A = this chain, B = another copy of it.
Amino acid sequence: MPFITVKNIEGKTPEEKRVLVQKMTKLVSETFEVDPNLIFIFFEDLAKDNYGKQGELFSYLKE
């Protein structure tokens, strides 16, 4: 505990995810006072065609 899911637009590299896992585990362990070995992190990569906001599919938005 806890189990953390990070849903993000696809594109982050394994190295970037690795850094986030290291830092987020430390942060949650210290803030919630839990054993870092009991913290699990899942990434969900979201394709631009699978994400809609402001009434439009993200892949059609000019961002």
The interface of chain A, by Cβ under 8 A from chain B, is 1-9, 12, 14, 16-28, 31-32, 36-37, 39-46, 49-57, 59-60
Q: Which residue of the partner chain, among B3, B24, B36, B54, contacts A37 with CB atoms under 8 Å?
A: B54
Does B59 lie within 8 Å of A21, measured CB to CB? no
Residues of B within 8 A of A2 (CB): 6-9
Number of copies: 6
A32 touches B53 (CB 8 A): no
Chain B residues in 8 Å Cβ range of A41: 51-53
- Report yes or no: B27 in contact with A23, Cβ–Cβ below 8 A: yes
- Quick check: A51 and B43 within 8 Å, CB to CB? yes
Question: Are A57 and B7 interface neighbours, CB within 8 A?
Answer: no
